[in-house]
Structure 1
């Protein structure tokens, strides 16, 4: 996939954001459940939030027309500091290396859900990760008729609970909010999720944590 295509998506998202104001400035099921349950608040174990999800239900648009609510995103994409006082969605749109993923959550219509109470852990693919996809795959996903599939892609990168790098133990299985399985491997100081290396860990956010990964995740 050509860099010009990715740049075009980032530029389109930049224009979209500036048209709107910002209103929010070892390997088995037992190990998987234990890891994620410990990270959830008591309320989160029952229901993530009125706009959020519990594992296995997936992020779905709040409005029936799949409209994207951008009120919980940074008004200017990229070039801003990612801070723990910001929501996950604000931090995603603040980092220039996550411009493509920011565009994807917008087109999938799940911005408002990811801005919910959570907490969530998001394994956010870098721009280069999307660029490495087979030619035309991202373009096809971004078509309106493939909106449901695009949400599946987002769901495959979101886990209920705030899991730091220290929580991600070798061999652990994580259940995404869409019900897919992600496997953690840990060698020395390197953490990988389904074979995708964590390039930047522990970007703490108000409603969870972001880890930047070097590949678009494929579910097991």
Structure 2
């Protein structure tokens, strides 16, 4: 497996133990789009809550790979419901570390739909996204960094 299990929080290995998922994501430049989307979706307080949460966190590059105009459309106030659906599709209740993720074939997201999980010698995939960094710890959960934005089936059909 090509998992890396160190924190991305400001280069300090134990700093994330005192910061929630939102703080950890906000401290890293590769999640600026995700943080903006969480704010636009009104999910900051939820993700600062007790949790625990497992977040499959798309990088800024993953958001940039969406079809032209998609991100801008999702960030508009009138599309908040769709944005929340997409974001909650990246969240699983509980703290699921990499050693446990690799034993699963699927997981039910907070959005209500399942994501497929496939682990093999080349890594772990969540639907069609590769996990590029796993086990980024936070006080209220864990982040697994992915290289694509996950879209619930009904949303994908609309885009």
TM-score by length of 1: 0.62
User: Following TM superposition, by how much is the alpha carbon of 1:80 offset from its aligned partner in structure 2, in angstroms?
Assistant: 3.1
Cα distance per residue 1:77-124 (max 9 Å; x no partner)? x98346222100100101110110010000100100001111000001
Q: Distance in 2 between matches of 1:85 and 1:140?
A: 34
Match of 2:135 among 173, 183, 202: 202
Per-residue CA deviation, residues 20-62 of structure 1 (Å, 9 max, x unaligned), is xxxxxxxxxxxxxxxxxxxxxxxxxxxxxxxxxxxxxxxxxxx
Moved beyond 4 Å, runs of 4+: none
Partner SS state of residue 73, structure 2: helix
Instruction: Give, in angstroms, the shift of residue 170 of structure 1.
Output: 5.3
Matched, 1:80 2:13: no
Give the Cα–Cα distance (whole angstroms) in 2 for the partners of residues 123 and 96 of structure 1: 16
Could you report, residue by residue, the CA deviation over 1:126-160 in whole angstroms, capped at 9, with x for unpaired residues?
Answer: 00000000000000001111011111111010000
The count of corresponding residues between Structure 1 and Structure 2 is: 143
For the residue of structure 1 that corresponds to 2:150, the secondary structure is: coil
Higher strand share: 2
Instruction: Tell whether 2:66 aligns with 1:116.
Output: no
TM-score by structure 2 length?
0.85
Structure (1 or 2) with the larger CA radius of gyration: 1
Tell whether the 8 Å contact from 1:165 to 1:201 is kept in structure 2 after alignment.
Answer: yes
- Once superposed, what is the RMSD of the aligned Cα atoms? 1.7
User: Does structure 2 retain, via aligned residues, the 8 Å contact 1:194–1:219?
Assistant: no
